[in-house]
Structure 1
């Protein structure tokens, strides 16, 4: 794999992390019902952690001498994560959406990890290892709130 492939994958990763951060923050603000307290707190912790990964992904791109995408337009084009619908969602819908998102990106990041390993991009390898661990745990923690 070439460094260019790793760069393009990192741009998608940055966009997906940013989109997931905003989605998680949206759910933090809007969750209601009996699971409010635990999900409100969990979502806040998770969007904070995701924010750090957003920064790490951008820094990894810059270290590879690439521009880091940084607009909603770019993120929407690059991200596989869908924005939530604008209508009111219940806690179980939020749980399902975020569980699917975290699981999907963990799976995608495993392939991107292999790409980075083949290209010898150690910083990207480390980032993807950390991301996979985080997203698999995040999916499990959210999933455990299913009623």
Structure 2
């Protein structure tokens, strides 16, 4: 005779329908993929920046990749709190992310800045696109998370764009 499974299935009722939880988790999975992809690109640029702005950009990129690294966990944990599995592989992130991978050859410093500014804008768009569903589902914790992420990405994009002005 086979062993009986000791796993117990629990139903979930947090006041958000299964359908809405699934859709929100899918959107948050895209946000997680975008955030992780931007983290990796920013860290790559931190390692590979050169030129007269080296010190400024090296330090700035470190602050930015550290913030992004700290952001992935709350997004993944929200997906889990909604009862879904958080994606966690490069293959999944490649499929889910709206951002391109980091360039194989490091670009010049100001091109790095431009790429990162566009990346933060893209992550902001991904976060913002979830608000209609999150609002409809009355999902305040996800709305709060999205608001926090939007604040960071919009401010960072502005600071990066400021470096490109002459």
Normalised by the size of structure 2, how large is the TM-score? 0.84
Distance in 2 (CA, whole Å) between partners of 1:132 and 1:114 is 15
Match in the other structure for 1:50: 68
Match runs of 1:104-143 below 5 Å: 104-143=122-161
Match runs of 1:59-74 below 5 Å: 59-74=77-92
Distance in 2 (CA, whole Å) between partners of 1:50 and 1:118 is 28
After superposition, the C-alpha distances for 1:74-96 in whole angstroms (9 at most, x for unaligned) are 11111111112211310111011
Deviating above 4 A after TM superposition, structure 1's stretches of 4 or more consecutive aligned residues are none
Match runs of 1:7-18 below 5 Å: 7-18=25-36
Distance in 2 (CA, whole Å) between partners of 1:74 and 1:50 is 18
Question: Are the equivalent residues in 1 in contact too, given 2:22–2:84 (CA < 8 A)?
Answer: no
Instruction: Give the number of the structure with larger relative contact order, counting CA–CA contacts within 8 Å between residues 6 or more apart.
Output: 1
Question: Are the equivalent residues in 2 in contact too, given 1:102–1:139 (CA < 8 A)?
Answer: yes
Question: Are the equivalent residues in 1 in contact too, given 2:135–2:143 (CA < 8 A)?
Answer: yes
Q: CA deviation at 1:108?
A: 2.5
Distance in 2 (CA, whole Å) between partners of 1:119 and 1:145 is 39
- Would you say 1:24 and 2:47 are equivalent positions? no
Normalised by the size of structure 1, how large is the TM-score? 0.94
Q: Larger % of helix: which?
A: 1
Greater CA radius of gyration, 1 or 2? 2
Unaligned 5+ segments in structure 2 are 1-18
Residues paired across the two proteins, number:
147
